[in-house]
Amino acid sequence: MNATTTVAALLDAENVRDLRAMEQLLDPAVTFEMPFAPGGDMSVTGRDQLLALLSDSLDAENGTFVDWRLDVSALYETSTPGVVFAEYAAEAVTRFGMTYRQAYVARFSVRGGSVTWWREWFNPEPLAAVMSETA
Protein backbone atom coordinates (compact mmCIF):
# COMPACT_ATOMS: atom_id res chain seq x y z
CA MET A 1 0.00 0.00 0.00
CA ASN A 2 1.51 3.37 -0.98
CA ALA A 3 1.33 6.51 1.18
CA THR A 4 -1.69 8.00 -0.60
CA THR A 5 -3.63 4.75 -0.36
CA THR A 6 -2.77 4.49 3.34
CA VAL A 7 -4.05 8.01 4.04
CA ALA A 8 -7.20 7.38 1.99
CA ALA A 9 -7.85 4.18 3.96
CA LEU A 10 -7.31 5.99 7.27
CA LEU A 11 -9.75 8.77 6.39
CA ASP A 12 -12.27 6.25 5.03
CA ALA A 13 -12.06 4.39 8.35
CA GLU A 14 -12.61 7.66 10.24
CA ASN A 15 -15.65 8.38 8.06
CA VAL A 16 -17.29 5.12 9.14
CA ARG A 17 -15.93 5.39 12.72
CA ASP A 18 -13.92 2.20 12.40
CA LEU A 19 -11.31 2.74 15.10
CA ARG A 20 -10.01 -0.82 14.71
CA ALA A 21 -9.23 -0.20 11.05
CA MET A 22 -7.60 3.10 12.01
CA GLU A 23 -5.50 1.28 14.60
CA GLN A 24 -4.09 -0.97 11.88
CA LEU A 25 -3.00 2.07 9.85
CA LEU A 26 -1.40 4.07 12.68
CA ASP A 27 2.18 3.57 13.79
CA PRO A 28 2.47 2.74 17.52
CA ALA A 29 4.46 5.99 17.99
CA VAL A 30 2.26 8.19 15.75
CA THR A 31 2.14 11.90 16.54
CA PHE A 32 -1.10 13.83 15.95
CA GLU A 33 -0.95 17.62 16.04
CA MET A 34 -3.61 20.32 15.90
CA PRO A 35 -1.78 23.68 15.84
CA PHE A 36 -5.05 25.64 15.90
CA ALA A 37 -6.97 23.59 18.47
CA PRO A 38 -9.21 25.57 20.82
CA GLY A 39 -7.00 26.69 23.66
CA GLY A 40 -3.84 26.48 21.57
CA ASP A 41 -1.51 23.99 19.97
CA MET A 42 -2.33 20.39 20.88
CA SER A 43 -0.21 17.30 20.32
CA VAL A 44 -0.81 13.63 21.12
CA THR A 45 1.90 10.98 20.77
CA GLY A 46 1.14 7.28 20.67
CA ARG A 47 -1.45 5.20 18.86
CA ASP A 48 -3.40 4.33 22.02
CA GLN A 49 -3.54 7.98 23.07
CA LEU A 50 -4.72 9.08 19.63
CA LEU A 51 -7.36 6.36 19.47
CA ALA A 52 -8.64 7.41 22.91
CA LEU A 53 -8.92 11.01 21.68
CA LEU A 54 -10.74 9.90 18.52
CA SER A 55 -13.03 7.62 20.52
CA ASP A 56 -14.09 10.57 22.70
CA SER A 57 -15.41 12.23 19.55
CA LEU A 58 -16.41 9.40 17.24
CA ASP A 59 -17.76 6.62 19.47
CA ALA A 60 -21.41 6.36 18.41
CA GLU A 61 -22.54 5.26 21.89
CA ASN A 62 -20.59 7.61 24.15
CA GLY A 63 -18.73 10.09 21.96
CA THR A 64 -19.43 13.73 21.25
CA PHE A 65 -20.93 13.08 17.81
CA VAL A 66 -23.99 10.87 17.24
CA ASP A 67 -23.78 11.42 13.50
CA TRP A 68 -20.47 11.84 11.65
CA ARG A 69 -19.52 12.18 8.00
CA LEU A 70 -16.08 12.90 6.60
CA ASP A 71 -15.73 13.71 2.91
CA VAL A 72 -12.26 13.72 1.37
CA SER A 73 -12.05 16.19 -1.50
CA ALA A 74 -8.37 15.83 -2.43
CA LEU A 75 -5.22 13.87 -1.70
CA TYR A 76 -1.88 15.25 -2.85
CA GLU A 77 1.17 13.02 -3.14
CA THR A 78 4.35 15.04 -2.78
CA SER A 79 7.82 14.55 -4.20
CA THR A 80 8.97 13.70 -0.68
CA PRO A 81 8.48 9.95 -0.20
CA GLY A 82 5.73 9.14 2.28
CA VAL A 83 4.35 12.68 2.57
CA VAL A 84 0.71 13.27 1.61
CA PHE A 85 -1.48 16.34 1.99
CA ALA A 86 -5.26 15.99 2.24
CA GLU A 87 -8.28 18.24 2.12
CA TYR A 88 -11.45 17.01 3.76
CA ALA A 89 -14.60 18.24 5.44
CA ALA A 90 -16.67 16.96 8.34
CA GLU A 91 -20.36 17.33 8.94
CA ALA A 92 -21.69 16.01 12.22
CA VAL A 93 -24.39 16.30 14.84
CA THR A 94 -23.51 16.33 18.53
CA ARG A 95 -25.22 14.39 21.26
CA PHE A 96 -27.09 17.64 22.11
CA GLY A 97 -28.30 18.25 18.55
CA MET A 98 -25.76 20.89 17.51
CA THR A 99 -24.53 20.77 13.91
CA TYR A 100 -20.77 20.77 13.42
CA ARG A 101 -19.21 21.63 10.07
CA GLN A 102 -15.49 21.87 9.52
CA ALA A 103 -12.99 22.03 6.66
CA TYR A 104 -9.54 20.53 7.21
CA VAL A 105 -6.13 20.51 5.57
CA ALA A 106 -3.74 17.87 6.84
CA ARG A 107 -0.21 16.65 6.30
CA PHE A 108 0.57 12.98 6.79
CA SER A 109 3.86 11.12 6.95
CA VAL A 110 3.66 7.42 6.12
CA ARG A 111 6.36 4.80 6.56
CA GLY A 112 5.98 1.08 5.92
CA GLY A 113 2.22 1.37 5.40
CA SER A 114 1.63 3.16 8.73
CA VAL A 115 0.88 6.81 9.45
CA THR A 116 3.68 8.14 11.65
CA TRP A 117 2.66 11.80 11.76
CA TRP A 118 -0.68 13.58 11.22
CA ARG A 119 -0.96 17.36 11.45
CA GLU A 120 -4.41 18.86 10.98
CA TRP A 121 -5.25 22.53 10.36
CA PHE A 122 -8.79 23.86 10.80
CA ASN A 123 -10.82 26.80 12.08
CA PRO A 124 -10.96 26.40 15.88
CA GLU A 125 -14.27 28.27 16.33
CA PRO A 126 -16.70 25.47 15.35
CA LEU A 127 -14.85 22.98 17.56
CA ALA A 128 -14.75 25.46 20.45
CA ALA A 129 -18.54 25.85 20.16
CA VAL A 130 -18.99 22.07 20.36
CA MET A 131 -16.61 21.82 23.32
CA SER A 132 -18.46 24.56 25.23
CA GLU A 133 -21.76 22.77 24.57
CA THR A 134 -20.50 19.47 25.99
CA ALA A 135 -18.61 20.96 28.97
Residue 101 scores a pLDDT above 80: yes
Model pTM above 0.75: yes
Calculate the alpha carbon distances from 18 to 8, 38, 60, 68 in Å.
13, 25, 10, 12
**Residue of higher predicted confidence among 82 and 63:** 82
Count the Cβ atoms, other than its own, within 10 Å of residue 99. Answer: 12
Residue 17 scores a pLDDT above 80: yes
Residue 134 scores a pLDDT above 70: no
pLDDT tens digits, residue range 38-80? 888 899 999 999 999 999 999 888 888 989 999 999 999 999 9
Q: Do residues 74 and 96 touch, judged by C-beta distance below 8 A?
A: no
Strand 26-34 relative to strand 114-122: parallel, antiparallel, unpaired?
parallel
Domains and CATH numbers, the chain: 3-134 (3.10.450.50)
* Alpha-carbon gap, residue 90 to 72, rounded angstroms: 9
